[in-house]
């Protein structure tokens, strides 16, 4: 079994454990799983960690892994999964990491070039991009340029460069498989209807975050610990803050426009506090199909990696009797102005989505560092949208990063 041929002791133990589990699941399962070779970008983040668990459960072979600078956690992952390549985005972390794993037969790379190289490796069957931020855009394009299917958890690839990404995927006949729980839900609801039943409306659900129901005057003195206290999901710091401002939902509106070819006006946002209904689709006859499940990211991760097949997933079952009730509310776009700014940005088109994304990334960084208050995030995103002129419809990759830089500089200059 070549998937584990160079895996050493850990690889053989992983193989033996997989074969033991597979024996109870049948030879068809065995044949399917052995075909998959996966590269995971951003393996030390929340999505990356859960993706590795899914790959381990499925018996998939890990070709390459990447991390930013968390070398202790990354070393443990590399020693367990024995990839052929490991990439550190941070050069200082790369130098320390290289010395620490000198005993392993692994090629270590660093920086954007390293990320793009492993994303385009010919042995990849699928690349899962779980990098946070616009740093994920170039590796996304590299994976698609190589013709690889892309399991996409990096929102910013589509938000900042949606036109470039979708056009390249179409040109190279590569599939973009959404990993976000909401977009996975929409994708699942549309499965089987491709090409002959376009959705009339997408119903994009939101948890509402930790500050649901609060008004602006109640959010004046929000502490970082309050903003990081999400009621339903366990995520990284940046994404959790985005959820608290509802920026996350705004980014998902932009993603949905590119993924599913719908107009922003045909996307309805509904706050679903229990995070059980992950999104829904309304068709021309007003039938609504929804995807439900307990809030666990392993479900959408596994579906993206195994599509179009489904396999058992090690998550708890949903019991509607135990849930008892589901509640739905309209989002407060006046209080959470990041959401309204994102909808306006994608409605305008051009590079405006890249502007709001860049402004938000920089503003969140300042908030996490204690340099601006919580409400200032939305104010800066809105001002950047209003004051930076980026109407270009036909743009290139350099233009995307130029708009991103303009937005970040604007935030830094106006943060006081």
Annotated binding site for NADPH: 44-47, 154, 156, 236
* Residue list, annotated binding site: 44-47, 154-156, 180-182, 207, 230, 236, 243, 248-249, 252
The tokens for 116 are 């793009």
Instruction: Give helix 374-387 / helix 237-245 axis angle, nearest 10°.
Output: 80
DSSP structure string for 315-381:
SPPP-HHHH----EE---TTTSHHHHHHHHHHHH-TTHHHHHHHHHHHHHHHHHTTSS-HHHHHHHH
- H or E element, residue 281: strand 277-282
Q: How do strand 267-272 and strand 201-206 relate by DSSP bridges?
A: parallel
Q: What is the 3-state secondary structure (H, E, C) of 7-62?
A: CHHHHHHHHHHHHHHHCCCCHHHHHHHHCCEEEEECCCCHHHHHHHHHHHHHCCEE
**Cα distances (angstroms) measured from residue 255 to each of 172, 397, 407, 415:** 20, 18, 19, 28
* Residue list, annotated binding site for 1-deoxy-D-xylulose 5-phosphate: 155, 181-182, 207, 230, 243, 248-249, 252
DSSP 8-state class, residue 133: S
């Amino acid at each position: 079994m070549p998937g584990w041929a160079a895996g050493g002791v850990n690889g053989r133990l992983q193989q033996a454990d997989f074969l033991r589990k597979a024996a109870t699941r049948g030879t068809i399962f065995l044949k399917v799983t052995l075909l998959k070779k996966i590269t995971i970008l951003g393996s030390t983040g929340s999505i990356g960690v859960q993706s590795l668990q899914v790959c381990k459960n499925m018996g998939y072979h890990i070709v390459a892994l990447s991390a930013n600078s968390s070398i202790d956690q990354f070393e443990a992952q590399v020693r367990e999964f024995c990839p052929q390549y490991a990439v550190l985005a941070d050069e200082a972390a790369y130098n320390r990491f290289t010395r620490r794993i000198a005993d392993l037969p692994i090629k270590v790379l660093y920086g954007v070039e390293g990320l793009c190289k492993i994303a385009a490796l010919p042995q990849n069957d699928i690349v899962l991009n779980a990098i946070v931020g616009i740093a994920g855009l170039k590796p996304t394009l590299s994976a698609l340029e190589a013709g690889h299917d892309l399991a996409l958890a990096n929102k910013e690839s589509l938000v900042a460069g949606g036109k470039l990404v979708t056009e390249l995927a179409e040109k190279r006949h590569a599939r973009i498989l959404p990993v976000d729980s909401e977009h996975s839900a929409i994708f699942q609801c549309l499965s089987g209807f491709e090409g002959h039943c376009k959705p009339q409306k997408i119903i994009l659900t939101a948890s509402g975050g930790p500050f649901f129901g609060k008004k602006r005057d109640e959010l004046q003195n929000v502490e970082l610990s309050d903003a990081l206290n999400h009621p339903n999901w366990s995520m990284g710091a940046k994404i959790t803050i985005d959820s608290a401002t509802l920026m996350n939902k705004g980014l998902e509106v932009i993603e949905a426009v590119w993924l599913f070819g719908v107009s922003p006006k045909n996307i309805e946002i509904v706050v679903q506090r229990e995070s059980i209904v992950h999104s829904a689709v309304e068709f021309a006859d007003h039938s609504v199909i929804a995807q439900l499940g307990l809030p666990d990211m392993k479900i959408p991760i596994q579906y993206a990696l195994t599509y179009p097949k489904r396999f058992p997933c090690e998550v708890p079952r949903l019991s509607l009797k135990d849930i008892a009730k589901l509640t739905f509310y309209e989002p407060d776009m006046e209080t959470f102005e990041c959401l309204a700014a994102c909808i306006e940005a994608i409605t305008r088109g051009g590079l405006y989505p890249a502007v709001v994304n860049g402004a938000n990334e920089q503003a969140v960084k300042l908030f996490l560092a204690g340099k601006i208050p919580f409400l200032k995030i939305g104010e800066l995103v809105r001002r950047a949208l209003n004051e930076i002129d980026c109407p270009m419809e036909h743009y290139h990759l350099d233009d995307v990063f130029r708009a991103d830089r303009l937005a970040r500089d604007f935030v830094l200059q106006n943060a006081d």
